[in-house]
Amino acid sequence: MTRKELVELIRQKESYLCVGLDSDITKIPVHLRQEPDPVLAFNKAIIDATREFCVSYKINTAFYEALGARGWDTLEKTVRYIGQSHFTIADAKRGDIGNTSDQYARAFFETLPFDAVTVAPYMGEDSVKPFLQHAGKWAIVLGLTSNKGAADFELKRAGEGLLYEEVLKTVSRWGTPENTMFVIGATQADSFINIRRLTPDHFYLVPGVGAQGGSLKDISEKAMNADCGILVNVSRAIIFASSGTDFAEKARDAAHEYQAEMAAYVSR
């Protein structure tokens, strides 16, 4: 999906909601566990319930890889079930030497039909560039995250600023706003003003709203640009809104609530 197509989808739906399919098999409703593929049954129900209100789905590959070959099969069936109507993200946090990253890019962009993959930039340009060489595909590079360990490296002094600032400035030169996004945690809301100054045209994938406590209002006011420029990921607060037989209905209600609030911001 190109940037133009993504922006048009956001405007059309008045939504920049990304639903995170962190489908932990130990947390899905008990009644689904008798299904031949419980996680796939859960994912399909969540997708059917929420696709009207979101523009993107993010599949956290860890929850599928942990299940072995069967989990990888579920991942593939899930992304194909979503189809081309939504922006699909493989949250895989890959990033290795160039020939290895090239294989990772082929895995997610050619063998699988994802639009984007999350990438760790620690190993430098040759570990990221292979993800930028596929037309209509995106690298979503880790920038400033919400976890406690962000202080170990991301917030250390480097050059004239902080390390994450150097990452944003450097990576933005490797790609363009047409194929590069950054992961910026929602609990870092006050940092968005400076981050937007450093990367005025890029999209951000913003996790941390919902169960992690990030404020949608704060993020929307501080991080948006003329094209909206943000995808706000919500996982647990939507997909695990209920653990009962009404899980899909409650997920739909939660997604609709986020979309309704987003409509007010995106239409400004």
> Of 106, 35, 52, 75, whose CA–CA distance to 251 is shortest?
52
| Residue 93 annotated as catalytic | yes
Contact assessment for residue 194 and residue 182, using Cβ atoms and an 8 Å cutoff:
no
Instruction: Return the bridge partners of 78, or none.
Output: none
Pairing label, strands 116-119, 17-20: unpaired
DSSP string, 14-29: T--EEEE----TTTS-
- Give the whole-angstrom CA distance, residue 23 versus residue 50: 15
- Give the whole-angstrom CA distance, residue 8 versus residue 165: 29
* Catalytic position from the list 77, 93, 129, 250: 93
> Of 37, 38, 19, whose CA–CA distance to 29 is shortest?
38
Unique residue bearing structure tokens 């809104």: 241
Active-site positions read 93
